[in-house]
Amino acid sequence: MDNVYKIKKARSIILYGIILFALLELGIIRLVFPTYYTHNLLLIPVYYLFFGLCILLILRWMKRKKMHPARAIALLMYFSLFQMILTFIVMFSYYYLVEANKYVMLFAFSAFYLFFMGIKLLIIYNIDIQHKSEIKHLQNAEKEK
């Protein structure tokens, strides 16, 4: 089951995806709504890069521990719950404490959140599909014996 956790593929998806989405989203805000663009918006990609690196560390730890994929998916779902709670806390604290355009920040944060959840869904789906294919391969090998 070593092939279940493809860290290089996940690293590419997470890091390049976040960087490209950040350039796209912040570029659109800066070009279309230049009056609403602030440097605080640059903190959003940094926040999600931190979570992306945490996911990569979790995947590396799972691979090293040879964790069963079902437990790995459950652990990633717990991590998603933690991230959701922390994201809501950060969003609401920004909304009430910072005197900038709150709606642009909330929109940018929410768009990034949905994008990042899509990335995590791809990683979880990849783990599940590879696990099922390895089980099927092992069952076919047992039938041939």
Residue with the bigger pLDDT between 95 and 116: it is: 116
Q: What is the DSSP string of the chain?
A: -GGG--HHHHHIIIIIHHHHHHHHHHHHHHHH-TTT--GGGGHHHHHHHHHHHHHHHHHHHHHHHT--HHHHHHHHHHHHHHHHHHHHHHHHHHHHH--S-HHHHHHHHHHHHHHHHHHHHHHHHHHHHHHHHHHHHHHHHHHH-
Q: What is the pLDDT of residues 35-50, one digit of tens each?
A: 877 777 788 888 888 8
Overall number of domains in the chain? 1
**Residue in the block written with tokens 């730890």:** 61
Measured N-to-C along each axis, helices 17-32 and 102-144 cross at an angle, to the nearest 10 degrees, of 160
For residue 19, being part of any structural domain is answered with yes
Residue 37 in domain: yes
Note the pLDDT tens digit of each residue in 102-136.
778 888 888 888 998 888 888 888 878 877 877 88
Within-domain flag for 72: yes
pTM for the model stands at 0.74
C-beta of residue 15 within 8 angstroms of C-beta of residue 49: yes
pLDDT at 6: 66
- Inside any domain, residue 145: no
Q: Of 85 and 4, which is predicted with more confidence?
A: 85
Q: Which residues form the domain of 78? A: 2-137
pLDDT confidence tier of residue 1, bands split at 50, 70 and 90: very low
Does the residue 57 lie in any domain? yes
